[in-house]
Amino acid sequence: MTPQTEPGADPGMDPAHAILFQPVRIGPVTAPNRFYQTPHATGLGWQRPQAGAALRGVKAEGGWGVVCTEYCSIHPSSDDSPYGFLTLWDDGDIAPLAATADAIHAHGALAGIELWHGGAHASNRMTRLPGLAPNVQPAMFHLPTTARAMDLSDIRAFRQWQRDAALRAKRAGFDIIYVYAGHDYLPLQFLSRRSNDRGDAYGGPLENRARLLREMIEDTKDAVGDTCAVALRLAVDELHGPRGITSEGEGRDVVAMLAELPDLWDVNVAGALGNDSKSARFSPEGYQEAQVAFVKSLTTKPVVSVGRFTSPETMVSQIKRGIQDFIGAARPSIADPFLPAKIREGRADEIRECIGCNICRSANNEGAHLRCTQNPTIAEEWRQGWHPERIAPAKPASVLVVGGGPAGLEAALSLGRRGLQVTLAERETRLGGRILRESSLPGLSTWIRVRDWRAHMIGKLPNVQVFPGSAMTAADIADFGADHVVLATGSRWRRDGIGVVNMDPLPLPAALTPDDIFAGAPVTGPVVIFDDEHYFMGGALAEKLRLAGHEVTLVTPHATASSWTALTDEQGFVQARLLHLGVRLELSSLLTGQNHDAVDLACAYTGAARAVTCGTLILVTGRLPVDDLHRDLAALGIAAERVGDCLQPSSIADAVHSAHRFARNFGGPPPGVFRREIPSHRSV
């Protein structure tokens, strides 16, 4: 079944993509096109409304027909502190949120807001209110506390909170108001047999368990449905098997039961958030299609879903095959807020494609503002005045950038966009630096997009020259005679075993590092990888070598493999894959020494010693900046700026941001204190 669409297409666009720019009606409102930025966290929350408004406004400027907020709490009993979330607890919240709606409307897009109650998933660490749930149950937030069971008076109050928040959202100017039944939050807790064994009218048969959800939709439509569309965000599959909601079972039944009630269906998968925002390492583009494709066959209302869509052809296919009516996106809209505009203008080759690394998710999980590997300007729109497509021209000068990895490419591109005469010298015959190596690891092939997009865009700038296969010494740089020198010479892995937990150098005469493995060093006998960095490298190398047929043991001081990837919502997938492949895990273990055919380990808690047979030891610990050239230039009296890993070894996202910040500030006064929003008291 196809919802009503209205004709409309921009002349000059690629005809194959015209269907993406058709208007689509959603209840009483009409989206100008099919690009739908679904709700996603920013880490900005109620404390930084101006930054949030600027971020969403840039999305609308970039052509997204619908731009939604992050989750917005409807009551103090749904407090997600310390993470960034919005609030509509009282009338004092209306004006700050109106700024976001206004910023979205300024560019002709519809503004959506995701009303949220976390139930047993809300921490309530700020408000200190008891958690609420269908039944008495332990908090789902890994806290030693318990949510209390809601009685009928609680349910009546909850329905009023949803209604009041919807009315406030309408007063703030939002066009689409959400009922949120996904990601293990309160309405889904009522819906699922896993969390609802009530014996009253809100428990038991599916019709009863769906009663609260039906009432929420009806209450919201009654409150605001005259002028606002009411969207239902529903997890149609919890991915917990038949005990939970599944797309073949009760997920399908719920859609059939409520088919025509909401004005729009926003459907996804649930369980842990990592299922819905699964990284590219563990999923392809459009990976949710198998679970959500049935929805359009059961409703005449428009449907939106997500799947990390970056290809216009895939987007068109989703529409033409009747999978959905909108192209839902969170991460792709972060990586390139101007993705729709580029497709509309015939510049699809310039799309800054999401690499699916989930650095954006890590920011939210740390309680920090949003960051992105591909787009260094995200969440800097208000704080630093950065725009993803515009950068101020600089006074004429020549700049030599040494190093063609992520930081060097970003520096050369951004300086070139400012009009400077830029020369990029890379010692290897191929551009990319660390990206060439890391994108060769299992599941990380999309990471090469960091290199490809920048190299492609540099190719469009006549004022940027690129010279691969050009190693530069300090004397070479002096002879070159550029006005300014930028060093992006990267980092190297440590050989002394110093990492996050182990702070003392170890005698490891025969140990290798990831640099050696990528360079083709021979690997013999049982392999032991000591991972004291805890991001992707240790686990990905273990997977690579196991797939090559080696016996592999991963040793880590932490209690889980690749523990930092919990912040990118990947840790469970990493550990499951390693175990499935037969990688032996030595958890909570320290490396203490190396012998000719074994390594010595110690329990990280008790110090109990043991040995593990080892033919090849690989250290994934800390990294050191490759800054020799910087010291050599200083000895010659030549000033040079460092960016990326040669200044501070870190993630690719941080390397790109470092270089972009340098390029933005180039030629100006030293940057001052970051612009900050100081929260002010708001009362009703």
Assign residue 20 the CATH number of its domain.
Answer: 3.20.20.70
Q: Where are the alpha helices (DSSP H) in 465-581?
A: 474-480, 514-518, 536-547, 571-581
Q: Is residue 317 part of a domain?
A: yes
Q: What is the helix (H) or strand (E) element at residue 658, kind and residue range?
A: helix 652-665
| CA angle at 218 for the pair 163 and 168, rounded to the nearest 5° | 25
> How far is the C-alpha of 561 from the C-alpha of 684, rounded, in Å?
48
pLDDT at position 679 is 65
Give the torsion sign (CA, 77, 82, 86, 87): positive
Helix (H, G, I), strand (E, B) or coil at 589: strand
Range of the domain at 410: 398-490+626-665
8 A C-beta contact, residue 269 and residue 293? no
Residue 301 has pLDDT above 60, yes or no: yes
Helix (H, G, I), strand (E, B) or coil at 491: strand
- Altogether, the residues listed in the chain come to a count of 684
pTM: 0.95
Q: Per residue in 144-165, pLDDT tens?
A: 999 999 999 999 999 999 999 9
8 A C-beta contact, residue 528 and residue 590? no
> How far is the C-alpha of 179 from the C-alpha of 267, rounded, in Å?
12
| CA angle at 220 for the pair 97 and 62, rounded to the nearest 5° | 40
Instruction: Tell the residue number behind the tokens 């109620």, with chain if given.
Output: 46
> How far is the C-alpha of 207 from the C-alpha of 157, rounded, in Å?
21
Q: Is residue 592 part of a domain?
A: yes
Q: Which residues of 57-70 are buried (b: 16+ CB within 10 A; e: fewer)?
A: bbbbbbbbbbbbbb
Q: Is residue 548 part of a domain?
A: yes
Residue 35 has pLDDT above 80, yes or no: yes
Q: Per residue in 530-559, pLDDT tens?
A: 999 999 999 999 999 999 999 999 999 999
3-state secondary structure 230-278: EEEEEEEECCCCCCCCCCCCHHHHHHHHCCCCCCEEEEEECCCHHHHCC
* Number of neighbours of residue 560 by Cβ within 10 angstroms: 17
Question: Which residues are registered as beta bridge partners of 137?
Answer: 147
Whether 226 and 86 map to the same domain: the answer is yes
Whether 349 and 436 map to the same domain: the answer is no
Q: What is the helix (H) or strand (E) element at residue 306, kind and residue range?
A: none
Average pLDDT over residues 153-178: 98
Q: Is residue 25 part of a domain?
A: yes
Whether 48 and 177 map to the same domain: the answer is yes
Categorize the per-residue pLDDT at 240 as very low, low, confident or very high, splitting at 50, 70 and 90: confident
Residue type, 646: C
Helix (H, G, I), strand (E, B) or coil at 361: helix
Using a 10 angstrom Cβ sphere, with 0-12 exposed, 13-18 middle and 19 or more buried, the burial of residue 395 is exposed
Which of 624, 646, 676 lies at the terminal end of a domain, its last residue? Answer: 624
pLDDT at position 272 is 60
- Distance from the first to the final alpha carbon of the chain: 45
Q: Per residue in 215-226, pLDDT tens?
A: 999 999 999 999
Whether 453 and 518 map to the same domain: the answer is no
Whether 619 and 538 map to the same domain: the answer is yes
Q: Is residue 299 part of a domain?
A: yes
pLDDT at position 10 is 65
Instruction: Tell the residue number behind the tokens 């320290």, with chain if given.
Output: 590
> How far is the C-alpha of 558 from the C-alpha of 555, rounded, in Å?
9
Residue 57 has pLDDT above 70, yes or no: yes
8 A C-beta contact, residue 463 and residue 415? no
Whether 160 and 194 map to the same domain: the answer is yes
Residue 32 has pLDDT above 90, yes or no: yes
3-state secondary structure 142-160: CCCCEEEECCHHHHHHHHH
CA atoms within 13 A on the CB side of 658: 23
Mean pLDDT, rounded, of the chain: 95
Q: Per residue in 225-236, pLDDT tens?
A: 999 999 999 999
Whether 557 and 600 map to the same domain: the answer is yes
pLDDT at position 12 is 63
Helix (H, G, I), strand (E, B) or coil at 665: helix
Q: Per residue in 306-337, pLDDT tens?
A: 999 999 999 999 999 999 999 999 999 999 99
pLDDT at position 681 is 54
pLDDT at position 6 is 38
% residues pLDDT > 70 (the chain): 97
> How far is the C-alpha of 204 from the C-alpha of 431, rounded, in Å?
60
Structure-token pair, residue 629: 């050239």
Which residues participate in catalysis according to the annotation?
A: 185
Q: Is residue 502 part of a domain?
A: no
Q: Per residue in 281-290, pLDDT tens?
A: 999 999 999 9
Helix (H, G, I), strand (E, B) or coil at 407: helix
Whether 632 and 614 map to the same domain: the answer is no
Q: Is residue 480 part of a domain?
A: yes
Residue 83 backbone phi and psi in degrees, to 5: -85, 160
pLDDT at position 143 is 82
Q: What is the helix (H) or strand (E) element at residue 345, kind and residue range?
A: none
* Number of neighbours of residue 182 by Cβ within 10 angstroms: 25
Strand 552-555's sheet: what is its strand order? 584-586, 552-555, 527-531, 616-620
Categorize the per-residue pLDDT at 674 as very low, low, confident or very high, splitting at 50, 70 and 90: confident
Q: Where are the alpha helices (DSSP H) in 330-489?
A: 331-335, 339-344, 359-366, 406-417, 434-438, 449-458, 474-480
Q: Per residue in 78-137, pLDDT tens?
A: 999 999 999 999 999 999 999 999 999 999 999 999 999 999 999 999 999 999 999 999
Whether 420 and 566 map to the same domain: the answer is no
Whether 436 and 359 map to the same domain: the answer is no
From residue 195, give the alpha-carbon distance in Å to each of 154, 209, 213, 574. 17, 10, 15, 27
Q: Per residue in 366-392, pLDDT tens?
A: 999 999 999 999 999 999 999 999 999
Residue 278 has pLDDT above 50, yes or no: yes
pLDDT at position 596 is 86
pLDDT at position 87 is 98
Q: Per residue in 392-404, pLDDT tens?
A: 999 999 999 999 9
Q: Is residue 355 part of a domain?
A: yes
Whether 408 and 326 map to the same domain: the answer is no
- Number of domains the chain is built from: 3
Whether 124 and 197 map to the same domain: the answer is yes
Assign residue 431 the CATH number of its domain.
Answer: 3.40.50.720
